[in-house]
A and B are shown apart, each in its own frame.
Chain A
Amino acid sequence: MTTVNAITALIAKDIRLFFRNQFFAVTTVLGLVAYVAIYFLLPAEANDGLQVAVYLENPAATQVDESFAAFFDYTLFDSPTALETALREDGEYIVGLLISAADAAAMSAGEAATVEALYAPNIPAETRQVYDDLLRLMVNAATPRAAARFALVDESAVVLGNDLLGAPIAVRDRMVPMLLLFILSVEVLGLATLITQEVEKGTARALLTSPLRLPHFLAAKALMGLLLAFVQLLLLVAITGKITAAPLLLTATLLLGSFLIVGVGFLIAAISRDSMAVLAWGMLVIVLFAIPAIAVLLPGLASAWIELIPSYFLVDALHRILHFGAGWGEVGGTLLALLVSGAALLLLGSALLRRRFI
């Protein structure tokens, strides 16, 4: 039997074993279905705006109407009751303004007036001040004196980073790196469990009494893990249509991500005595690896040290390719770091595993 044939036979056996395991079979297939379902169930559009409810007693007060429009999206209500009901029950509006006919006339003329505002229930008390600021400016926007003074402030605005104003990323799209990481997480557990069980049950030693050498054994495991992870990742990005963003670059990134996860799987298998230990270490890794993906979901929130987590390189590359159209030049360094991380983990895991056989 040639080496290639031996490795191929081992891979086929491992894939059969993998799917014979109830836990991994269920989580692999159902997981993929669930992730696709989650993606398509989430809204395709991002909604990061601010909706304000407005009641104008005199709908003909167009000046007020126009000055509000310069600030934000707002919805006009027919009556104060309808506005209050929307604030209480809708959940879409945070604040509402009730403008009487007299208020509207005073605002247009720049005369003194007091406008009534309503805050929706459950608005955190500490956030009120900023909404107060907004309302204060908004109702005075048409005031000639304020406008004249504001004209003296020369504000030069500089946009840093990718400008998403007007084209925000939908939550479901931001979730894609996280869904891909979840797939990889199950594969980490699967691969590490397979290796650990082979060692636990002695089948690995039995195999090594045949012409099969340890490097071949490890190569077969690595290739099996790579194949399983990569195919699932590819399926997810294909079904969600993301693959069209940059087919070749995305494929390479997913392949390197799968390679990283193989390295992690080897390392976990090397330090785990049994399946329970694999689950325990695996869960720790899943929590840790999910952090960069959460940072993509909630941008700008993470500390700089998350860049030390190997999954950061995968998530960052995916985020930039999928959402900002980054090319090879922009993500080349990140992909190299991903490759190096995967290789380092694989080498370390292999070395530790080798010690368990010798």
Chain B
Amino acid sequence: MTDYTEKATATDSLAGPPAAPARIWTLLRKELRQGATSFFFVYSLVVPVVLTLLVALVFGDLFAATPRLGIHDAAAADSAVTRSLLAHESLDVARYDDEAALRAAVGRGAVEVGVALPADFDAAVQGGGDVNLTVYRWGEAGVRSLLLLESAVASAAVDALGVELPVQVDARQLGSADSAGWSQRLLPLILLMAIMLGGLMIPASSLIEEKQKRTLVALTTTPASLWDVYLAKTLAGFLVSAFMGVAILLLNDALGGQPLLLIAVVALGALMSSAIGILVGSLVDNIDAFMGALKAFGILLFAPGILELFPQAPAWIGRLFPTYYLLNPLLAVSQRGAALADVAGELAVLAAIVGALLLALALVVDRQRERVALA
């Protein structure tokens, strides 16, 4: 419980007429100390990290849409086909020591196609005779994966057979190649969660608890003003939110070439999320209503992260959501090497949103102060 009345009588900092920053600092320390034992606090710290690790642990590289191939080569030394496929850049290739293991892997879908090469594969190829090849196909594999895997195997076989192909392909990339895999596509969502969870939950849950336990009213008898309390809670959310944002960027090795700019963007986002958190906390009276609001409107906050999973989605949809103006500069700076000038417009929108939220917060605090005075 966040009991400031105890602090007000026991600490000198609030007993006299200290400056507001000193009172806010005292309140903030208490907020962080007591909040550290709260589930919401722990959640804000743990969930983004756990999600990052879970994605890597459970799905790992397999989460990528990369076609998955298994090879068992019965020869003592790898055949040319095996060497070629193992070096393939576009495939996720696993080798198996025996055919039964390969078969089992295909059966459970760990690899979509399994190729079993006989011991005499190279000799048969060089001799120009018949070559036996057993191919296992996972029944649930998609047509696209099958087509690509079979092409890759066939292409490797063409090279091994020494077939000269008369028609060459001159391929050209339209626009810039995007090297983003699934793990990078997931990063925006996790990053958004890291920044929004702490900022939303910590100030909101703390304020709701104060209201439920009526300690907010008790605070008015101390030198700490309502503004001090609200700002301390907002700051607590801001610190956790900013810390988690930077931590997730670090964990994903996504600080990019301009870490200071990135940290500034994270800080602005953290301020937005904690301002939303304190506003929501001041508008609802119990934790169930807060969770209901989070569930009902959370999609508006996380939508840009979800849309990032689907590059085919029109870009304008994302612009409808406020967190787009946080997420897009973050991704532009961390993944596309954008400079301040490139993201200045979006940051200006984000700053305007933060300004509007702080203005709304000022109105809410004034209204709350009137209510407390009348009480």
Asked if A and B bind, the verdict is yes
Interface residues of A (CB under 8 A from B): 21-24, 26-27, 30, 48-50, 71-72, 84, 87-88, 91, 95, 103, 106-107, 110-140, 143, 145-146, 149-150, 152-165, 168, 193, 275-277, 279-280, 283, 287, 291, 295, 298-304, 306
The verdict on A122 contacting B175 (CB below 8 Å), with A137-B155, A298-B63 known, is yes
List 7 tightest A-B contacts by C-beta distance, closest first.
A300-B109, A121-B175, A48-B142, A280-B39, A130-B90, A133-B155, A161-B139
- Closest residue of chain A to B115 (Cβ to Cβ) is A155
Per-residue CB proximity of B154-177 to A under 8 Å, as 1/0?
Answer: 110110010111111111111111
A168-B142 CB under 8 A given contacts A26-B296, A118-B172: yes
Q: Which of B57, B129, B137, B295 touches A159 (beta carbons < 8 Å)?
A: B137
Contact B43 A112 (CB under 8 A): no
A24 to B288, CA, bound (A): 8
Known contacts A114-B167, A301-B63: A88-B292 contact under CB 8 Å:
no
Assign chain B's interface to a size class: 35 or more
- Residue interface bits B46-83, CB-to-A below 8 A is 1, else 0: 01001100100111101100111000000000000000
B residues near A276, Cβ cutoff 8 Å: 38-40, 205, 287
The answer to whether B287 and A116 touch across the interface, beta carbons within 8 angstroms, is: no
Extra pairs beyond A131-B171, A143-B166 (20, CB < 8 Å):
A23-B291, A30-B296, A48-B145, A91-B312, A114-B168, A114-B170, A119-B174, A129-B88, A130-B88, A140-B167, A145-B163, A156-B133, A160-B138, A161-B107, A275-B287, A279-B39, A280-B43, A295-B58, A299-B140, A306-B58
Establish whether residues B167 and A287, one from each chain, have CB atoms under 8 Å apart when the complex forms. Answer: no
**Among residues 244 to 295 in chain B, which have CB atoms less than 8 Å away from a CB atom of chain A?**
287-289, 291-292, 295
Contacts of A168 in B (CB 8 A): 142-143
Contact of B171 among A118, A155, A156, A280 (CB under 8 A): A118
Judged by a CB distance under 8 angstroms, whether B16 is at the interface is no
8 A Cβ contacts from B103-117 to A: 103, 106-110, 112
Q: Are B177 and A156 in contact (CB under 8 A)?
A: no
Measured CB to CB, the closest approach of chain A to B33, in angstroms, equals: 18
Interfacial chain A residues near B373, Cβ < 8 Å: none
Cβ 8 A contact of B166, one of A84, A106, A277:
A106
Q: Is B135 an interface residue (CB 8 A)?
A: yes
- Show 28 residue pairs from A and B whose CB-CB distance is below 8 angstroms, ordered by the A residue: A22-B289, A23-B291, A23-B292, A48-B143, A113-B166, A113-B167, A114-B168, A117-B170, A118-B172, A121-B174, A124-B178, A125-B177, A125-B179, A127-B66, A130-B67, A130-B90, A134-B148, A139-B169, A152-B131, A155-B134, A156-B132, A156-B134, A159-B136, A162-B139, A275-B288, A276-B287, A280-B40, A301-B59
Contact yes or no, A153 B133, CB < 8 A: yes
- B-chain residues with CB within 8 Å of residue A291 when the two chains form the complex: 54, 58
Judged by DSSP, the binding face of B is: mixed
Q: Is the CB of A158 within 8 A of B148?
A: no
Contacts A158-B136, A291-B58, A300-B109 given; does A114 touch B169 at CB 8 Å: yes
A130 adjacent to B91 (CB under 8 Å): yes
Determine whether the beta carbon of B62 is less than 8 Å from that of A300. Answer: yes
A111–B172 CA distance with the chains assembled, in angstroms: 23
The answer on a CB contact under 8 Å between A161 and B172 is: no
B68: A residues at CB distance < 8 A: 300
A152 to B126, CA, bound (A): 12
CB distance from B331 to the nearest CB of A (A): 13
Does A165 lie within 8 Å of B161, measured CB to CB?
no
User: Does chain A have a CB within 8 A of B180?
Assistant: yes
Q: Is the CB of B90 within 8 A of A302?
A: no
- Name B residues whose Cβ lies closer than 8 Å to a Cβ of A: 38-40, 42-43, 47, 50-51, 54, 57-60, 62-63, 66-68, 88-91, 103, 106-110, 112, 128-149, 151-152, 154-155, 157-158, 161, 163-181, 205, 287-289, 291-292, 295-296, 311-312
Neighbouring B residues of A283 by C-beta, 8 Å: 43, 47
> Which chain B residue has the least Cβ–Cβ distance from A72?
B147
Q: What residues on A are CB-neighbors of B40 within 8 Å? A: 276, 280
**Contact yes or no, B50 A277, CB < 8 A:** no
| Bound-complex Cα distance A18 to B291 (A) | 15
Alpha-carbon gap, A282 to B133, bound state (A): 51
Q: Using A124-B177, A302-B58 as known contacts, say yes or no to A160 and B38 having CB atoms under 8 A apart.
A: no
For A87, list chain B residues within 8 Å (CB).
174
Q: How far is the CA of A136 from the CA of B148 in the complex (A)?
A: 12
CB distance from B310 to the nearest CB of A (A): 9
The docked-state distance in angstroms from the alpha carbon of A114 to that of B166 is: 9
**A160 lies within 8 A of B174 (CB):** no
Give the one of A50, A111, A162 with max B CB within 10 A.
Answer: A50
> Contact partner of B288 among A22, A106, A126, CB < 8 A?
A22
Least CB distance, B265 to chain A, in whole angstroms: 23
Q: Are A123 and B143 within 8 A (Cβ)?
A: no
Task: Note all chain B residues with C-beta closer than 8 A to A72.
Answer: 147
Shortest distance in angstroms between A17's beta carbon and chain B's nearest beta carbon? 12
Closest A residue to B289 by beta carbon equals A22
Q: How far is the CB of B15 from chain A (nearest CB, A)?
A: 32
Bound complex: CA of A120 vs CA of B311, how far in Å? 12
User: How near does chain A come to B280, taking the closest CB pair, in angstroms?
Assistant: 14
| CB contact under 8 A between A164 and B90, given known A124-B180, A280-B43 | no
Which of these, A22, A137, A304, contacts B154 with CB under 8 Å?
Answer: A137
Is B178 touching A26 in the complex (CB atoms < 8 A)? no
Chain B residues whose CB sits within 8 angstroms of the CB of A125 once the complex forms: 177-179
Chain B, Cβ-Cβ closest to A145: B163
- B39 and chain A: residue at smallest CB distance: A280
B69 CB to nearest chain A CB (Å): 10
Asked if residues A129 and B137 are in contact (CB atoms below 8 Å), the reply is no
B155 to chain A, nearest CB (A): 4
Whether A301 and B158, one on each chain, are in contact in the complex, defined by CB atoms closer than 8 angstroms, is no
B38 — which chain A residues lie within 8 A by C-beta?
276
A16 to B133, CA, bound (A): 66
Chain A, residue nearest B62 (CB):
A301
Please determine whether B291 and A129 come into contact, CB atoms closer than 8 angstroms.
no
B108 to chain A, nearest CB (A): 7
Contact B169 A135 (CB under 8 A): yes
Instruction: For the complex, give the distance between the alpha carbons of A133 and B167 in Å.
Output: 13
